[in-house]
Structure 1
């Protein structure tokens, strides 16, 4: 009797383990049956990634469309999740996500921690301020409070400006926070990418700005992956195919109308 009981228990354990294995394997598949890749972004950066809350909580934008188009070519289902920009690389390093697309520039410092594809878009920086502020040049920032998004490439630009003029640099987590702080006069100006800034100008006539004249190469956006990830080469190849066949340009026209931006 004991032998039969032990045999029954053993068989139950085998079936249970088999079932667990199947569940774990299935968790890697999306509704389409494709392997799921988790993409992190900072959905505060129209037209790259944002939520049109008047319609839904879905994250939309140029980066989202591009990521899904690349995933489709490679046989992956890309699932997008939102987080603060300054936590994106940490999430990638901690293997909480598989990739990051957030208008992110592949700086030398970031390359120490993650791998990047080729650049898929370029940008310029803009100083944004309330209309009538009198801020028309970098020199006009003397004695002012200048806002930047935490973890963004604009932090570096702000540091360069602070070396030239006496300006106080303050960080915020999200672009809408910077804009709100400008409107309530808690910040005098902010550095925001030109396309993103122009989007705010269209909606808010109380803001204005000027493009920074820098001799350095324009900032560029690239896709970030974990160090040594096989996905980097796969996505880079598909990205270059989209550049060559005109698919990337179609997305550019759809979302930017030939404007540029990156963080």
Structure 2
């Protein structure tokens, strides 16, 4: 999943997605401040790389949609927040979070020990793994066949890390669709990308003859990131996330995007 951290803050495009509004206060970094009027709301600024369907992407109206958008919005509603999404390149999200540009990040971010040195994660909310995508009829049947092949990954992700650990230097792309489109065009022979993203891409492009083959990849879990010292906000997110899981709202959101019940986390 999206994983590695690089320095540098990308410009952001601010987009608003309304959740259940609070009353008479504005919110940043989990600490309430008095608003200028009674109509002000509590706001949770959330950073995300909104180019990762079906997890998060821009719809035809250039509004964010996807599983993580719905989930974060539901969490915000339960907390009494208006959720404001800001989109930026994945490899700058943690830097921007720690600079105070966001209160939280949700962006298919794998929980890892290395990353946990820089941020505090919520409880896990999604299980995934890497998928090995090839063109139908490819001689590549498993990850063991990738040696000496041109392999595409999204830059700064665990897909990149997995491939590099095999001793392969991958071709890196800014987005997962860029990597998969180059696979279609013959620029690479395989792509190692997050499983839900590959499955969605194949579903949306049935005529492109892209298939997945056996890959022996570990399970990974996504978490919502907040600043290391913001335990108050992390606890609020965890409380709301647990409530959504217990009352079946989480499963409803999962089923909407993946047409199946959510696995037990």
Shorter-chain TM band: 0.7 to 0.9
2:238 to 236, 239, 242: 236
- C-alpha distance in 2, partners of 1:211/1:241? 36
- C-alpha distance in 2, partners of 1:250/1:92? 29
- C-alpha distance in 2, partners of 1:228/1:41? 20
Q: TM-score, normalised by structure 2?
A: 0.80
Cα deviation per residue 1:200-251 (whole Å; 9 max; x = unaligned)? 112223211124224x4x1111110011112111101111111111111111
Can you give the 5+ residue segments of structure 2 that lack an aligned partner in the other structure?
A: 1-32
Instruction: Write out aligned runs for 1:91-240 (5 A).
Output: 91-162=96-167, 167-204=168-205, 205=207, 206-214=209-217, 216=218, 218-229=219-230, 230-240=232-242
Answer whether contact 2:134 2:213 (CA < 8 A) is retained.
no
How far apart are 1:168 and its partner, in Å? 2.8
Answer whether contact 1:32 1:77 (CA < 8 A) is retained.
no
Answer whether contact 1:125 1:192 (CA < 8 A) is retained.
yes
Q: TM-score, normalised by structure 1?
A: 0.80
Quick check: 109-118 or 126-135, which moved more? 126-135
Instruction: Write out aligned runs for 1:31-46 (5 A).
Output: 33-46=40-53
Say what the alpha-carbon RMSD is for the aligned residues: 2.2
How far apart are 1:170 and its partner, in Å? 2.2
SS at 2:170's partner residue? strand
Answer whether contact 1:123 1:260 (CA < 8 A) is retained.
no
CA 87–194 in structure 1, closer or farther in 2 if over 3 Å, else same: same
Higher helix share: 1
- C-alpha distance in 2, partners of 1:187/1:153? 19
Answer whether contact 2:46 2:103 (CA < 8 A) is retained.
yes
SS at 2:171's partner residue? strand
Answer whether contact 1:116 1:223 (CA < 8 A) is retained.
yes
- C-alpha distance in 2, partners of 1:134/1:84? 34
1:78 — aligned with what? 83
The structure whose Rg is larger is 1
Count of aligned pairs: 228
CA 212–259 in structure 1, closer or farther in 2 if over 3 Å, else same: farther
